[in-house]
Amino acid sequence: MKATQFKEYGEPNVLELVEIDEPHAGPGEIRIAVRAAGVNGIDWKVRSGHMREMMPLSLPAGSGLDAAGIVDEIGDGVDGIALGDAVFGTGTNTYAEHAVLGDWARKPDGLSFAEAAGFPVPVATAQRILDLVGVKAGQTVLISGAAGGVGSAAVQFARARGANVIGTASKANQRYVEELGAIPTTYDEGMVERVRALAPDGIDAALDIAGSGVIPELIELTGNASKVVSIADFTAGDHGAQVSSGGGDRRAALAEAARLFEAGQLRIPVANTFTLKDAPAAHAASQAGHIAGRTVIVID
């Protein structure tokens, strides 16, 4: 089958389209014929070598965690799913014609494969970090970096819980953040004063999605470092804030995403699509940032 791999760490151009053997579903897993694969920040961080100490790889290695497609193989111990079902979920080496998933949910009929492929890591991350700071109905949460995949999911998951949301984003993405259901503002100088004006009763929790060096400001706004969590700034712990890089109930998050989509409460639009052979360009687009929505690789 065709798949994307890299033989060495480096820039996006180390990604190559190669022919490799098809993977097979093990116990508790399913395999899908991939229709689309989501591109996440972790993908290019791994490829570049930034994560080599935390996530050592045996090279050559594939890329991709998220995908949507049609179930074509079911491992031992799996029930509630059938060959031919359309699903989305998280696995390994998903930039390929076939991929094995360890966590999945049924894809709602009205959700395209491309958009579904952009859901898994963002929705699982959003639910996990909202739980970490205990966001609930009636509270106000600040999301720093609200326009990307995780930010988009976090805004909508928080709104579904009944929370009020203020989201920071670039000037170009202010309307997008507002359409998601958040009160938008920019993240540049004067952010603390602007947020206080928008939330005179205070901020109950803050999520740092972008890793733009605003942890001290988020702590100042919440007045409680334990109510600040970052997925992108690993120095947050030095300030007493939380750092989250994994965990949570992925299957529950995927099922919740499907439910919210069907209820009209969740959408993460596809901003860019690429083919497998253009995976280097997909990584470059993701790495450049400031995208409202998701970057997705579509399999022909």
Q: How high is the pLDDT of residue 176? A: 95
AA identity, residue 33: A
Residue in the block written with tokens 């359309």: 86
As a whole number of angstroms, the distance between CA 84 and CA 185 comes to: 44
188-196's contacts with Cβ under 8 Å and 24+ in sequence apart are 191/217, 192/217, 192/220, 192/221, 195/142, 195/166, 195/221, 196/221
Contact 236, 230 (CB under 8 A): yes
Q: How high is the pLDDT of residue 268? A: 95
174-178's contacts with Cβ under 8 Å and 24+ in sequence apart are 176/147, 176/292, 176/293, 177/146, 177/147
Reading the chain (300 residues) residue by residue, the pLDDT tens digits are: 999 999 999 999 999 999 999 999 999 999 999 999 999 989 999 999 988 888 889 999 999 999 999 999 999 999 999 999 999 999 999 999 999 999 999 999 999 999 999 999 999 999 999 999 999 999 999 999 999 899 999 999 999 999 999 999 999 999 999 999 999 999 888 999 999 999 999 999 999 998 888 999 999 999 999 999 999 888 999 999 999 988 889 999 999 999 999 999 999 999 999 999 999 999 999 988 777 889 999 998
Residues whose CB falls within 8 Å of the CB of residue 178, separated by 6 or more in sequence, listed in order: 184
Q: How high is the pLDDT of residue 259? A: 97
Contact 226, 242 (CB under 8 A): yes
Q: How high is the pLDDT of residue 220? A: 96
As a whole number of angstroms, the distance between CA 8 and CA 5 comes to: 9
Closest by CA to 115, choosing from 255, 17, 258, 278, is 258
The crossing angle, in degrees rounded to 10, of helices 149-160 and 120-132 is: 50
Q: How high is the pLDDT of residue 146? A: 94
Contact 270, 292 (CB under 8 A): no
Q: How high is the pLDDT of residue 275? A: 97
Q: Apex CA 56: angle with CA 50 and CA 62, to 5°?
A: 85
> For the CA atoms of 266, 111, 272, 256, what is the dihedral angle to 10 degrees?
40
User: Residue 147: helix, strand or coil by DSSP?
Assistant: coil
